[in-house]
Amino acid sequence: DHIFEKVNPEMEKLGYECKCLGGGKIDHNSKEKKIRVFGLSTGYGKADHAATVEILKKVYTDYEITWSDDKK
């Protein structure tokens, strides 16, 4: 919620219309090259973590990236 509220006005200034489709958390361990996507937003619900992982894989090609519905 806090990130979307901060970023959305700046995106609108650039001409983008944004909608938050859900939320969660990302645990990034650069030492072990692992990323874990999990959790949900109390205000927006759970994002499509599988879609998030696919986006992350495009940038972090040498990482092990996983997701779960775990809250912690």
**For residue range 8-33, what is the model confidence (pLDDT) as tens digits?**
999 999 999 999 999 999 999 999 99
Q: What is the distance, to the nearest Å, from the Cα of residue 20 to the centroid of all Cα atoms in its chain?
A: 11
- Which residues, at least 6 apart from 63, have a Cβ–Cβ distance to it below 8 Å? 33, 34, 35, 56, 57
pLDDT band at 1 (very low <50, low <70, confident <90, very high): low
- Mean pLDDT (the chain) is 94
Of 50, 39, 41, give the one whose Cα is nearest residue 21. 41
- Whole-model pTM? 0.82
In the numeric block, the tokens 């940038």 are attached to: 59
What pLDDT does residue 2 have?
Answer: 80
Q: Please check whether the domain covering 21-68 is classified as CATH 3.10.129.10.
A: no
